[in-house]
Amino acid sequence: QKEVEQDPGPLSVPEGAIVSLNCTYSNSAFQYFMWYRQYSRKGPELLMYTYSSGNKEDGRFTAQVDKSSKYISLFIRDSQPSDSATYLCASDTTEDGNNRLAFGKGNQVVVIP
């Protein structure tokens, strides 16, 4: 079992809709939770991160973490065609004192004009 599970199924939504993406994780020690965005044929880039449980908002993007259920969510309000990308969730894990991120498989999102 991967430490971070993300259903990789593609998601198509009309412009202006709310996009909802979810991940689950297994390691109770995870403290930081990130979302990376990856445009086609580009490297991933950090979208936002949260620490522990709670919500974090950045413009049209909201990240939520529920540590009691080990659930990570990303919401995109008023979605735009420019939001079309693959979104990867990630959590940090420490082994032997070294920080290494555990990534989900990513969700491809297509926003249709």
Partner 1 sequence: NAGVTQTPKFRVLKTGQSMTLLCAQDMNHEYMYWYRQDPGMGLRLIHYSVGEGTTAKGEVPDGYNVSRLKKQNFLLGLESAAPSQTSVYFCASSYQVSGANVLTFGAGSRLTVL
Interface residue list for partner 1 (CB under 8 A): 6, 8, 31-32, 34, 36, 41-46, 49, 51, 88, 92, 96, 98-101, 103-106
- Within 10 angstroms of residue 109's Cβ, the number of other Cβ atoms is 20
Residue 46 or residue 110: which is nearer to partner 1 going by CB?
46
Residue 17 or residue 84: which is nearer to partner 1 going by CB?
84
Question: What is the nearest approach in angstroms of partner 1 to the Cβ of residue 78?
Answer: 26
Question: What is the nearest approach in angstroms of partner 1 to the Cβ of residue 52?
Answer: 10
Sorted by sequence, the CB contacts under 8 Å of residue 66 that are 6+ apart come out as 53, 72, 73
* Residue 53 CA, distance from chain mean position: 14
C-alpha 78/C-alpha 42 separation (Å) is: 24
Tokens at 80, concatenated: 């735009």
Residue 18 or residue 46: which is nearer to partner 1 going by CB?
46
Residue 19 or residue 90: which is nearer to partner 1 going by CB?
90
Question: What is the nearest approach in angstroms of partner 1 to the Cβ of residue 6?
Answer: 7
Question: What is the nearest approach in angstroms of partner 1 to the Cβ of residue 51?
Answer: 7
Q: Are 89 and 6 in contact (CB under 8 A)?
A: yes
* 50-61 per-residue burial string, b: 16 or more CB within 10 A, e: under 16: beeeeeeeeeeb
